[in-house]
Structure 1
Amino acid sequence: MHSRTAALSAVSVFLLTAFANAHATTGIEDMRSNDTVQGLYEIREKAREFVASENAKGEGKWNASEPNLKVFVPRCAVPLGARWDTIRWSSVDKRGELSEHTRRLIAVTCARSVDRAQKWDVHVPVARQLP
């Protein structure tokens, strides 16, 4: 029984190592659009383009981050759009009091996808640059 457990443990370590290496080498640069899926690379680049345009207006300096790597949306049939958006949520503090929170972000938008002409938007986090 001990040799079987050791073999399973070795296989588990191998699989975890292989997964970690594959995940480390697959970055957003490789996540490009294809015929059916909108690439996170293009979504990130649209967010960066939007932030550069907003920064040029002189109303603060922002940096766009990356979209969540788990996001999966159909390919957009029209050019991507972008706009400021805000997410809102509530939490309860230690005293049981409700606290409201907000966070500014960029919504990269698609008005019509290639699959069933659905709309979607992907939120991309932003951070204000310190002066």
Structure 2
Amino acid sequence: MLRLILFIATLSASVLCLASWSIETDRSTENHHGLFEIREKARRFIAQENAKGRQQWVVLEPNPKVLVPRCAVPLQTRWTPKSLGRSKPSVMVICAAAEPNAVMSSWDVAVPVQEKSN
């Protein structure tokens, strides 16, 4: 019975922590690059693409499980190549040189997009 109560209490605390997290609050720190800034870079890219007047796109949320080191250079963007096997369109936000760390020297994050509904 005590284990059940402990499990329920732990689960409740976890849910509250997850409920308070959002991409809006996931900003860059000295150690990691925030998903907020990554999404904003994708939004700027899509705004330029939408200005071309072809298809109209809207940026969705990047995967909240993504954790990448802080980028040492300005982020770059482009359409994610189909050769990478993604089934839906996305914008690739690219860091060519991350701040020195033990995990990775560069990274890219695919941010999903969808066509705007009229």
Compute the TM-score of the two structures, normalised by the length of structure 2.
0.89
Correspondence list, 1:7-18, <5 A: 7-18=2-13
- Confirm whether residue 48 of structure 1 aligns to residue 33 of structure 2: no
| Aligned with 2:85 (options 85, 88, 92) | 88
Partner of 2:17: 22
In the alignment, the residues of structure 2 paired with residue 36 and residue 12 of structure 1 have an alpha-carbon distance, to the nearest angstrom, of 32
> Rg bigger for which structure?
1
Listed as ranges, the gaps of 5+ residues in structure 2 are: none
Listed as ranges, the gaps of 5+ residues in structure 1 are: 1-5, 90-101
1:70, distance to aligned residue in structure 2 (A):
0.8
In the alignment, the residues of structure 2 paired with residue 18 and residue 119 of structure 1 have an alpha-carbon distance, to the nearest angstrom, of 34
In the alignment, the residues of structure 1 paired with residue 7 and residue 98 of structure 2 have an alpha-carbon distance, to the nearest angstrom, of 40
Q: Secondary structure at the match of 2:69?
A: coil
Alpha-carbon displacement from aligned partner over 1:80-126 (angstroms, at most 9, x marks no partner): 1111013426xxxxxxxxxxxx3221000111111268221100011
The answer to whether the 8 Å contact 1:32/1:39 transfers is yes
Q: Secondary structure at the match of 1:103?
A: coil
| Aligned with 1:39 (options 34, 38, 45) | 34
Aligned residues: 114
| Aligned with 1:119 (options 74, 94, 106) | 106
In the alignment, the residues of structure 1 paired with residue 113 and residue 31 of structure 2 have an alpha-carbon distance, to the nearest angstrom, of 27
| RMSD between aligned residues | 1.6
Correspondence list, 1:103-118, <5 A: 103-115=88-100, 118=105
Q: Secondary structure at the match of 2:89?
A: strand
Residue type of the partner of 1:63? V
1:63, distance to aligned residue in structure 2 (A):
0.7
Aligned identity (percent) is 42
